[in-house]
Chain A
Amino acid sequence: METKKITLVDVLLDDHSEDIDSVTFHVDQDGYYTVDHVILPNMDWYETSQDDYREYYNTIYVTDGEKVYKEIDGTLQECTVKEILERNIEGTTIQKCRVDIFYTAGLQNCYIWYCKQIFDSLLNTCEKNRYNDLIYARDFIWMTLNIIDYLVGFKQYLEAQRILENFQRCGGYCKDFSITKPDINCGCSR
């Protein structure tokens, strides 16, 4: 089973004029994400630094806090953030670190929703038949959440992603919780 292709979710450029120690990104789907923190010199550095110092780098990238620029033949030309993320940073002005994040809030919300449904069905004697299905779904989601947690602990992010996609495709339990994939029925018994 193939995991989804890599996509650039969001970009936040900040000139660090204020002391901020956290940033917020909007994420609407569960899964494996990487956050790259890229540090580039600003325009002041580019305009005031000595040529000897600038020649130390093969390629110069700078930012004005709104756009990212690359020096080509002595002039600055706008470039994409994607280029900076994908290229080898050796010999450039790019400094970066990467943090791996596995987001499961949608699945957790789904788990809570099933717990509430079980509680409601206990009070509603007309829905006794539904009770066992709800219990099964809740257990399955709980097991999946824990297994993903273990895999993330082992730093096996892609395997955790595979488990999550497998669950989303075959289970069909959490369609209303930020999961856009269709239920294609993988021979599941329920």
Chain B
Amino acid sequence: MGEFKIMDGNDAAAHGVMLSRPDVVAIFPITPNTTLINGVAELTASGKMKAKNVTVENEHAALSVVAGAAAAGARTFTASASQGVVHMEEVLWMIPGSRLPLVMAICNRSISNPGSLMCTHSDSLLQRDNGWLQLYCEDAQEVIDTTIQSYRIAEDKRVLLPIHFCLDGYVTSACAIPVNVPDQDKVDEFLPPYPHEHFYLDPTNTIRPEPGLPNYRGLETEQRYIIDEALIGAKEVIKEVNDEWGEMFGRKYGNGLIEEYRTEDAKGVLVTMGSMTGTARVVVDQMRDEGKPIGLVKLRTFRPFPTEEFKRIGAKVDAMGFVDRNFSHGAASGGGIGVVETSRALYHLDERPPLLGFIAGIGGRDVTYENFRYMAEKVLKAAETGKVEKEVEWIQLMEG
């Protein structure tokens, strides 16, 4: 039933990759996921991981190498963060169109300028429109589990799309906890070899995996619709994979898309992503002990966005608050990306609840118990009065 080891998020990702038996890995190091690359390099150098580790000159090359390998039928892995993800941009857009089921870790970090080495979700959320799936992990245990699950989801014939699984830079990537490492034979049972039935690169049948060229020219509408359909269909696959993982390994992450915590009789709920969820859970417990009807929703799958789940919760609560660890300069109502998405999901409810936006934890600033208590109180007040005092609030903003 797995062995417990002390691991941080980067270590967990590296071991999750090893257990998934990739054929080709290519990663260019960048803080805060440098130790992930160290881990993968050690495992390939020692022969514990049989993958070909291609050393590359930059992130653009790293993603290009694994995309090429995936097009030839390989199971692959790469990772990046911050400026590295932005440098990959051109290649990132190509991969969903070619339906290559890559798995890539993003150690969330701010993008300059102003930037930091610490966590903001902007680098991954910047990729929300290009057809990649996005799963956000709370701790190192979820990282190792999600790494392995990601291959199953991405390679499912109903999906065949790439996945970013995201871990908060430092807070998750460098925070060591006891992690239950799944047994290899059980992982092999859970994750069979990648069947690569629609592979392209074959020296005996030269073809060109480039969708924009003449025989499909003028059909981008249809091509984009196909990706959209597959991405939305992936929700069922994510749920199935989460359930199966739960049966085999005894751990589940909500329904795979969201994880509800004490929402049954909640009047107000907060929505969080990533590592801050742990702090929020403690605050929910404290406030519940005081008789305050607050609940919590961890948004695990940002793409595809779990619209149905948000509608169901939105219909039963009196107020909702989204805690965005990101910003979208100039967005509607000044909101972060999460609250803007949620607004759309709730819009057509007959009685939609007041929705508050909070921007917190930018640049790795700790989101404290006090901050969560403050936000929860605001949500409960909106639940009581039915009114929103401030549509979006920047938490811990120094105003002199």
A binds B: no
Residues of chain A at the chain B interface (Cβ within 8 Å): none
